[in-house]
Structure 1
């Protein structure tokens, strides 16, 4: 199992194209910070994207891809001018029909992603507030954006499914680019690329319910126990057992929020021999027994 894939699957990342816009200047819209992760790409013309300060706006040209992480409203417009921005509901309600062949037409796509629970939150927290990717002509991101553009031009059966899957691909590519370029990328991301440490991480993610021990994990990496423990802690900033416990408790919190499993089932899925053992560990880390924690966090 790929560790990044495991994060995405467990975060239940789901995407939806929520707007393809064809408009003419002047235009601008504001998108709320309640959208967890927004993706924007210009298919024709140009656009400016910024958070609070329009003087720090990023200019987007055809093929560029930008993401904005939720928390703060962001703006996209034909010029970095907050005065022309209206709510996204108002923008799409009043945008007139414009022929995409119009030489002054701007065509852009806005998409949104939802990521669930603490697993999803940890991915979002690892991203910068705004990231702009300017792919080269033969870059994978450029190729996917081109596919999206062609799919939008020619409506066909199953088009929404195609667009959803293409957004899935874009999300993975964006995360890769961000984590590869950032000094604040999750430590597990780079550790997972290590041919030896990656085996241990994959094993813990693949079978969080297994009773892993440091010697057993060390054997998977073909390292001695001391060498494995030392290299793991250097790469991830915590011991293998601390990492395993943190991951199990992250999964447990998401299972508790979902409210679909009993405490006994959650304990077994996260590698504890009994509900009592699970409850003791959970309370030690969170200050509440899992049942009471679930009552307080079901809607979070």
Structure 2
């Protein structure tokens, strides 16, 4: 297991929507900021993507993949500033099952990804608001886009499974490419490639319940305690035990939100000897005991749901 894999699995990323569209100019589509991560790629022709801020337009062309984090709405169209329709109206106006005969038409793919919990939010926060990646001829990204386009041309058995897996590949390749070249990639990602720290980080992520100590982690890394502590703080900006506590609390918050485990089971899963020890640590970290924190989060989630989907 590597740390990026661990974050993606814990985030439980799922492909919610994917569509292939043929649009003849003039055209424009507005997509809401509630989409946690949107994926766009042009198969044929050209398009533009922009936010509601000046100078934000980026060109979409074959061989590139653009990811947009949730938050502000974003638009794609035949030219920057084009009049944009909401998705339902857009689909009704540009419903074409075939490839389209107009050489001016743009063929593009749109996907929407949903992440779960604190780990997913942290992964998204590490990405820029808009990220465009260019795929070279021998880049796997280009192969995935080609396969997606072919799969969306016609309806086949088990098609949704194929689309979800291809979208998984597209997302992982895009995130991996960005993190590899970005100076703002998460510290845990950069540190995981450090031969002095990678094994210790992996051990903490694989088994957060283990009663780790700095000497034990240093031994895994093949360093003295002092050398390991210095290298860890320099790379991650915090002491090893502080990082471990933060990771345990992140996992605990996800379990509390999901409601999949009792407090005793959460305590055991994140390395505390009893529910009382876990509750005390959680309260020190968050100001509230875990039960009260979970009730407040559920109430906030219900409020957000009502705001997004009010009764007719």
**TM-score, normalised relative to structure 1:** 0.96
Q: Distance in 1 between matches of 2:84 and 2:172?
A: 30
Matched with 1:88 is 87
Q: Distance in 1 between matches of 2:8 and 2:156?
A: 28
Q: Distance in 2 between matches of 1:16 and 1:44?
A: 24
1:100 is the counterpart of 2:95: no
Aligned-partner SS, 2:255: helix
- Deviations, residues 188-213 of structure 1 (Å, cap 9, x unaligned): 00001112311001101100111111
Aligned-partner SS, 2:109: strand
Q: Note the aligned Cα RMSD (angstroms).
A: 1.4
Paired residues in the alignment total: 299
Q: Distance in 2 between matches of 1:12 and 1:99?
A: 33
Q: Distance in 1 between matches of 2:235 and 2:260?
A: 35
Q: Distance in 1 between matches of 2:221 and 2:143?
A: 36
1:66 is the counterpart of 2:66: yes
Q: Distance in 2 between matches of 1:107 and 1:242?
A: 49
Q: Distance in 2 between matches of 1:32 and 1:68?
A: 11
The unaligned stretches of length 5 or more in structure 2 are 302-312
2:37–2:69: 8 Å Cα contact kept in structure 1? Answer: yes
Q: Distance in 2 between matches of 1:259 and 1:78?
A: 45
Matched with 1:161 is 161
- Deviations, residues 116-157 of structure 1 (Å, cap 9, x unaligned): 111111011111110111111111211211221222235432
Q: Distance in 1 between matches of 2:225 and 2:252?
A: 28
Q: Which segments of structure 1 move beyond 3 Å, counting only runs of 4 or more? A: none
Q: Distance in 1 between matches of 2:253 and 2:60?
A: 39
Matched with 1:125 is 125
1:35–1:112: 8 Å Cα contact kept in structure 2? Answer: yes
Q: Distance in 2 between matches of 1:264 and 1:96?
A: 53
Matched with 1:138 is 138
**TM-score, normalised relative to structure 2:** 0.92
1:54–1:80: 8 Å Cα contact kept in structure 2? Answer: no
Cα shift at 1:158:
2.2
1:48–1:59: 8 Å Cα contact kept in structure 2? Answer: yes
Cα shift at 1:90:
1.3
Matched ranges for 1:117-266 at <5 A: 117-266=117-266
Aligned-partner SS, 1:86: coil
- The change in CA–CA distance for 1:255 and 1:96 in structure 2 (over 3 A counts) is closer
Q: Distance in 2 between matches of 1:181 and 1:118?
A: 24
Cα shift at 1:101:
4.2
Matched with 1:276 is 276
- The change in CA–CA distance for 1:252 and 1:228 in structure 2 (over 3 A counts) is same
Q: Distance in 2 between matches of 1:60 and 1:4?
A: 27
The unaligned stretches of length 5 or more in structure 1 are none
1:49–1:60: 8 Å Cα contact kept in structure 2? Answer: yes
Aligned-partner SS, 1:30: strand
Matched with 1:48 is 48
Q: Distance in 1 between matches of 2:66 and 2:230?
A: 39
Higher alpha-carbon deviation: 157-166 or 276-285: 157-166
